[in-house]
Amino acid sequence: MTDQEIKTAYERDGYVVLKDIIDNRDLDPMRNFIKAKVDGYCRKLYSEGKISSLYENESFERRYAVICEALDILPRNWSFGMFGREFYDLYNLPGVLDVVRLLLGPEVSNIGIPALRTKLPGSVITSFSWHQDSQYLDQSTIGKKEKHTGGLHMVTVWVPLVEATVENGCCWVIPGSHRWGLLDGARDADANIRMEEDVEARGTPVAIPLKPGGALFMSNLTVHSSKLNTTRKSRWSIDFRYLPTPDRADLTVEQREAAEFVWNKNRRGEAVPLVVLTDGHKPTWEEWEAEVSAQKARR
């Protein structure tokens, strides 16, 4: 696709899918990060007598699933860290940043915290029902409706680390839904957002199966979901987000306030947004790591 075609598709549909935008080898550091954490977890459990095998011969897609099966658990979240050089490099992949520049302009930051997703076989809680990413950003409290980022333009980049298929629970989107505004919905008891309206009555869902090397770019208002993983393997993926750096001169007051809301929210946690596109100074990995360490020490 040409730059113009990418922009036109994204503006029309609220998302664009680009195949082969990432060299599959550039995803190896992320897979190796996961493999090392899963290996460490497995060895710890084994030494504690909680599992009876190290499952060393299992594949990348099976090993974590096998451990969880042995423990009879289906965790919603990856709890082994989402920070490191691998993440810095991922956020700065030139192919990804070219598209981000096209969609968001010249002064852009990554929000500093991704979602590394295990999507385990049969996991209902990670079958995310229809939502907009703004709803997750805005709402921290179960049952409480808050709206802060309706005026924001943030781009989510969803990247499969193994092939994402309809069977293992790839993403689904509703084309054009980014023009519906920020919809009503709240976090349910399981912490997942539930929409109030029947969005399928308003638009036609499209499945986004994707091989490693491809990426789905979508806006914070694009309605999307992912369904049950009905296979025996984990559907590993990572999604990460970019927004206009809040002090950018071309933002409206609403856009700036929304960008600041995300920025400050993340800074209250352990995440430090990372400037990735700028005419000014772009932090090196060492600088970003030092900032994150300082922030952790302050908390």
Ligand X SMILES: O=C(O)CCC(=O)C(=O)O
Based on CB atoms, which residue is closest to ligand X, 63 or 119? Answer: 119
Binding positions for ligand X, 186-225, rule CB under 6 A: 224
Closest CA to 92 of 266, 217, 275: 275
263 binds ligand X per the rule CB under 6 A: no
- If one asks whether residue 156 binds ligand X (CB under 6 A), the answer comes out as yes
Of 33, 44, 32, residue with least CA distance to 71 = 44
To 5 degrees, how large is the angle CA 126–CA 130–CA 135? Answer: 95
Out of 65, 68, 119, 137, which residue is the one contacting ligand X (CB under 6 A)? 119
The SS3 of residue 84 is: coil
Query: Which window, 70-78, 80-88, 115-123, 257-265, contacts ligand X (CB under 6 A)?
Result: 115-123
Structure tokens at 121: 């076989």
Stretch of 43-51, 114-122, 246-254, 274-282 contacting ligand X, by CB under 6 A: 114-122
Any contact of residue 15 with ligand X (CB under 6 A)? no
Q: How many C-beta neighbours within 10 Å does residue 211 have? A: 13
237 near ligand X (CB under 6 A): yes
Name the residue nearer to ligand X (CB basis): 107 or 239.
239
Is 191 in contact with 142 (CB distance < 8 Å)?
Answer: yes
Q: Tokens 């914070």 sit at which residue?
A: 220
- Our CB check for ligand X shows the closer of 191 and 294 to be 191
Residue 16, Cβ density class (10 Å: 0-12 exposed, 13-18 middle, ≥19 buried): buried
Tokens of 255: 């856009």
Specify the residue, 109 or 226, whose C-beta has the smaller distance to ligand X.
Answer: 226
Per CB under 6 A, does 172 bind ligand X? Answer: no
Helix (H, G, I), strand (E, B) or coil at 191: coil
Name the residue number minimizing CB distance to ligand X.
226
Where along the sequence are the contacts to ligand X (CB under 6 A)?
115, 117, 119, 128, 133, 156, 158, 169, 171, 224, 226, 237, 239
